[in-house]
Amino acid sequence: MALVFTPKPTPTVEIAGCDDLYPVNRIYCVGMNYYDHVVEFGSDPEEVDPVFFMKPADAIVANHEDVPYPPKTNDFHYEIELVIAMGKRAVNITAEEAEGHIYGYAVGNDLTRRDLQAAMKVLGMPWDTSKGFDKSATITAIHKASDIGHPKEGRIWLSVNGEVKQDSDIKMMIASPNQIVAKLSELYTLEPGDLIYTGTPAGIGPVVKGDLMEAGIDGVDTLVNKVV
């Protein structure tokens, strides 16, 4: 039997320090995972559990690649996030076991059509159109945990046209990267190639065509993308 059309190539992400590429399987995302961001959204951090959602693997946009302003929004937002890159299958693992399943880390931007998300929240409906659209997941090269370790703290920041908009520390996460991997592994079979965007701190806001988004996490990398 033959395939009836040629499938698209598997989306990939560069790996720092070598010429190999990381093939992307799924993209998971965590919402409401920084204390200051939960407060910014008008919720009580003690009452909120991090929420999970997904983006398609082909939503990936490389570092320094332009991001097209998406259709059907007038409120296109940045969200700077630490990204976990899985290296081994994980099913029902504990937080203590998580690091043994993680390949590395990157800096990512969970781009969001905030107006569509707000409309779906009011209706209690899924967020898909606000989160899982084309070119909605920018990402730096992946840095192997064997090179940079497993980041537990460090400044996370994002600026637009040189003006700092988000400025926090990854230690302010409500669920740690290891706890996120453990929780997700109870819900899904995590596979090598799965990326996990771990949530954004306070300071979310809009960008328009022509804006330059620069962002970084100390000890990981710097992410630069222009909106066009």
Which amino acid, 46? E
Where do the H-state alpha helices sit in the chain? 35-40, 95-98, 114-123, 128-131, 145-148, 177-187
Task: Give least dist CB 124 to Mn ion, A.
Answer: 19
Task: Give least dist CB 141 to Mn ion, A.
Answer: 20
Nearer to Mn ion, 93 or 195 (CB): 195
Nearer to Mn ion, 22 or 28 (CB): 28
Measured from the Cβ of residue 208, the count of other Cβ atoms closer than 10 Å reads 10
Nearer to Mn ion, 134 or 147 (CB): 134
Q: Is 101 helix (H, G, I), strand (E, B) or coil?
A: helix
Q: Sort residue 110 into left (φ over 0), alpha (ψ -120 to 50) or beta.
A: beta
Asked if 220 and 83 count as a contact pair (C-beta separation under 8 A), the reply is no
Task: Give least dist CB 6 to Mn ion, A.
Answer: 33
Nearer to Mn ion, 36 or 97 (CB): 36
Query: Which residue's CB comes closest to Mn ion?
Result: 110
Q: Is 33 helix (H, G, I), strand (E, B) or coil?
A: coil
108, burial (CB in 10 Å: exposed 0-12, middle 13-18, buried 19+): buried
Task: Give least dist CB 118 to Mn ion, A.
Answer: 14
Task: Give least dist CB 154 to Mn ion, A.
Answer: 18
Task: Give least dist CB 130 to Mn ion, A.
Answer: 11
d(CA 54, CA 25): 12
Task: Give least dist CB 92 to Mn ion, A.
Answer: 25
Which amino acid, 66? D
Point out which residues bind Mn ion (CB under 5 A): 79, 110, 200
For the chain, count helices (H), then strands (E). Answer: 6, 17
Nearer to Mn ion, 136 or 185 (CB): 136
Q: Is 179 helix (H, G, I), strand (E, B) or coil?
A: helix
Nearer to Mn ion, 130 or 144 (CB): 130
Nearer to Mn ion, 110 or 194 (CB): 110
70 Cβ contact list (under 8 Å, min separation 6): 76, 111, 113, 133, 134, 135, 136
